[in-house]
Amino acid sequence: MAKVKTTFFCQNCGAQYAKWQGQCNSCKSWNTIVEEVVQKEDKNSWKASTSKSSKRVSKPMLINEIDSTKETRIQTTDLEFNRVLGGGIVPGSLTLLGGEPGIGKSTLLLQVALNLPYKTLYVSGEESQKQIKMRAERVNPNNSNCYILTETKTQNIFKQIETLEPDIVVIDSIQTLHSDYIESSAGSISQIKECTSELMKFAKETSTPVVLIGHITKDGHIAGPKILEHMVDTVLQFEGDRNHVFRILRANKNRFGSTNELGIYEMQGSGLREVSNPSEVLISKKDEELSGNAIAVTLEGMRPLLIEVQALVSTAVYGTPQRSATGFNAKRLNMLLAVLEKRAGFRLGAKDVFLNITGGITVDDPAIDLAVIAAILSSNEDEALQKDFCFAAEVGLSGEIRPVQRVEQRILEAEKLGYNAIFISKYNTISLKNTAIRIQKISKIEDLVRFLT
Ligand code: TYD
Ligand code: MG
């Protein structure tokens, strides 16, 4: 019988130890080190059969001599997905899609797989073929090019891949896979590492793109070692509030494109629908004017996006006033309140302030500062802002209104959606002529107060 070899892994960061210890040296967390059985035999899997090719020695080459013909990407029918990836799926790439349970990862990738005009293999270790069929019927009832395999052993998956020769492989999810060469249970650090590296070898050597689904832990990281994120080419994050219908797909890492792009989806009874004009859905079109609401023009990736900021200012019931922000940085909210207090003389010290970005999205663009201030002022005075006003500027510590990037794009988006006035910084230079929207340039918070009252 082969000797059983074990190693200790930190379940938090993936660090490896020869002996058990209470605290992980590298991430300092306690009680996360677990013994896992690692048994290496001589390999005759994908790895072993291809180990010859890794002996190939590569030579240095002049950068000008390297062939730079643009790689042809696989275009999916999902335009948002293509854009987040930087223009489609790159052949031979390994992509990891992370997200909370139930957010729609399986739905998104099944939908992409079903609509591809290529031969796709969807490997599921989580659901039965029937379950997937039921889901497929919800999202797209007719397609013949997508094969479903329910299997968790990588060696068996590779066997099927060899006979099927798919153009693209989807794995749902990496935590359910296990390889024969490692004896610990599926989902353990050593298994995840091993399975990912087998899949990576397969992807690189056959130029078949592989998309992995990864679970995330309570604190929002992809379960498994950080090294998993280093191994793959692209890390996508699917997020959104499960109680809201909107889902946001963003790239946290992308070797083939920018990480600025963002895809927005709406979860419907028949699967995920791309939202091509997000501003229209994120803003509640109300007839009556409500105090405490302000519209901000932000940029998500390269796209301007109008969002609604809601503030509620009320008298504090308890000694310490509460400040709470949803979708916005709470520290920044405190800073803006301090600026308001100091520069505009508003006594907010004895007031509770609640701030909410509607639609369940999180924004970190500083250009929404001005809208936050306007919403707070409006709620404090209990007077609605004019419905057709919108804001795009950063607010500095001395109450100055600071310029933001790509202001012209923001102005045009606001104009397109029918807003009558946009408040921006005096220091933003713009060359737009004859806009239907009134461009109101201000330089200090006091200016804003004057305009709004
Ligand atoms: P799922 O893709 O299973 O999530 P994940 O793989 O990330 O865990 O999505 C599950 C949720 O999506 C589930 O709560 C039901 C909902 N859903 C719809 O609302 N409409 C649909 O057409 C489908 C397929 C799912
Ligand atoms: Mg799933």
User: Of ligand 1's atoms, which has the minimum distance to the CA of residue 269?
Assistant: 20
- Give the strand pairing for 120-124 and 168-172: parallel
> Residue 94 pLDDT more than 60?
yes
Cβ contact 191:185 at 8 Å: yes
Query: CB-based contacts of 305: which residues, under 8 Å, 6+ apart?
Result: 278, 279, 282, 297, 298, 299, 413
**Residue 139: how many other CB atoms lie within 10 Å:** 19
The residue whose C-alpha atom lies closest to atom 14 belonging to ligand 1 is 102
Q: Is the CB of 228 under 6 A from ligand 1?
A: no
Q: Looking at ligand 1, which atom is closest to the CA of residue 99?
A: 7
- Judged by its nearest atom, the ligand closest to the C-alpha of residue 216 is 1
Tell me what the pLDDT averaged over the chain comes to.
85
- For 201-212, what is the mean pLDDT? 92
| Token digits of residue 177 | 């896979």
Compute the distance between CA of residue 51 and CA of residue 44 in angstroms, rounded to an integer. Answer: 10
The Å distance, Cα 108 to ligand 1 centre, comes to 9
Provide the pLDDT for residue 52.
Answer: 43
pLDDT at 57 (0 to 100): 64
**What pLDDT is stored for residue 101 in this prediction?**
85
Ligand 1: which atom is nearest the Cα of residue 101?
A: 8
Residue pair 333/310 in contact (Cβ under 8 Å)? The answer is no
Higher pLDDT, 242 or 62: 62
Write out pLDDT tens, residues 171-202.
Answer: 998 999 999 888 888 888 888 889 999 999 99
The string of DSSP codes covering 37-106 is E-------SHHHHTTTGGGPPP----GGGS--PPPPPBPPS-HHHHHHHTSSBPTT-EEEEEE-TTSSHH
Q: Is 188 helix (H, G, I), strand (E, B) or coil?
A: coil
101 lines ligand 1 (CB under 6 A): yes
pLDDT in tens, 11-53: 887 888 989 999 989 888 898 888 887 765 545 455 444 444 4
Per-residue pLDDT tens digits for 261-285 = 788 888 888 889 888 777 777 776 6
CA distance 123 to 132: 10
Give yes or no for a cis peptide into 173 (omega within 30° of 0).
Answer: yes
Is the Cβ atom of 105 under 6 angstroms away from ligand 1? yes
Who has greater pLDDT, 56 or 141?
Answer: 141
Contacts with 363 (C-beta within 8 Å, 6 or more apart), sequence order: 296, 298, 300, 307, 327, 328, 357
In this predicted model, what pLDDT tens digit does every residue of 437-447 receive, in sequence order? Answer: 999 999 999 88
Q: Stretch 137-157: mean pLDDT, rounded? A: 85
How much is the pLDDT for 187? 81
pLDDT of residue 53: 45
Give the mean model confidence (pLDDT) for residues 224-238: 84
Cβ-contact 47, 201 below 8 angstroms: yes
**Mean pLDDT within 244-260:** 85
Q: What is the pLDDT of residue 242?
A: 59
Contact 271, 280 (CB under 8 A): no
Does the beta carbon of 104 lie inside 6 Å of ligand 1?
Answer: yes
Q: What percent of the chain has pLDDT over 70?
A: 89
The residue ranking higher by pLDDT, 245 or 241, is 245
Residue 187 in tokens: 């989902």
Ligand positioned closest to the Cα atom of 172: 2
Ligand nearest to the CA of 102: 1
Half-sphere exposure of 392 (CA within 13 A, CB side): 26
Residue 54 has pLDDT above 50, yes or no: no
Residue 156 has pLDDT above 90, yes or no: yes
107 falls in which pLDDT band (50, 70, 90)?
very high
What percent of the chain has pLDDT above 90? Answer: 39
Question: Quick check: 221 pLDDT over 80?
Answer: no
Greater model confidence, 240 or 138: 138
Gap from CA of 273 to ligand 1 centroid (Å): 12
List all residues 6 or more positions away from 291 whose beta carbon is below 8 Å from its beta carbon. 378, 379, 381, 382, 383, 384, 385
Residue nearest to atom 23 of ligand 1 (CA): 271
Is any ligand 1 atom within 6 A of the Cβ of residue 196?
no
Mean pLDDT value across residues 147-154: 92
Q: What is the pTM of this model?
A: 0.73
According to the model, what pLDDT value does residue 37 have?
76
Question: Regarding predicted confidence, which is higher, 224 or 410?
Answer: 410
